Amino acid sequence: MEISGSTVLVTGATGGLGQAIARSLSAKGARLILTGRRVDVLEPLASELGARALAVDLGEPGEVDRLLSEAGELDILVANAALPASGMLDSFTMEQIDRALDVNLRAPIAMAHALAPAMVGRGRGHLLFMSSLSGKAATAGSSIYNATKFGLRGFAMAMRAELHGTGVGVSAVFPGFIREAGMFAEAGVKLPAGVGTRSPEDVAKAVVQAIERNRGEVDVAPISLRVGSALAGLAPEISAAITRKAGSEKIVASVADGQRVKR
């Protein structure tokens, strides 16, 4: 998919990852429509990049429909918005669970449902979904977040199969630990020595490559984490034992404490 000249909607543009993605797509010549909840961040970013700004809360009923109606015809969707949703299941209210499901999973599905037919009719387009390595490897204390990211991976894989040969590409990007932005950085979590990280710019580069090359899945993590996520798919019990010994539950608990106000 050619990014230059294409109209691209980026959700979750006010977060650190969203900002990096928006800047990379702008550098590629995209006509950007940026959305997020924090108007104080959204409007300056849109002004910087010559983009349209649409303030939207994807967790509110009817907001997906309003967003797509105001955005108009789109060539590329980057579904990046997500809530951290970390913590033990019993620490959530049902309202918080519903909100995480709405923002992290329902909204991307609803946008794809609305946009794909027109893209297929034009014979061009791209749907990109921001998942996580938490969409490949489950961890105690992340049941809701894991559920949304596993679900998003399955949806993207199936949509890619359904749209094969139509001219519409589908990709999913899987960041691991990201420094300077994202849920781990924002929660102020200190990672164990030796745990590698990647930058927001690395994630943005992966997004651009996935769109331009129509790559189905792109991991953004050191080789050790990528191997670990692959092991989780092949031998989940062994993977769970390894992650327990590595202290992953303490990391997740720290993220949950730092991100509780964002549920």
Give the chain's end-to-end CA distance (angstroms, integer). 35
Residue type, 2: E
What are residue 227's phi and psi, to 5 degrees? Answer: -65, -40
Helices and strands, counts by H and E, the chain: 11, 7
Tokens of 183: 């849920």
Q: How far apart are CA 64 and CA 58, in angstroms?
A: 6
Q: How far apart are CA 107 and CA 72, in angstroms?
A: 17
User: Looking at the annotation, which residues are catalytic?
Assistant: 145
The β-bridge partners of 125 are 168
The β-bridge partners of 10 are 34, 78
Q: SS3 for 198? A: strand
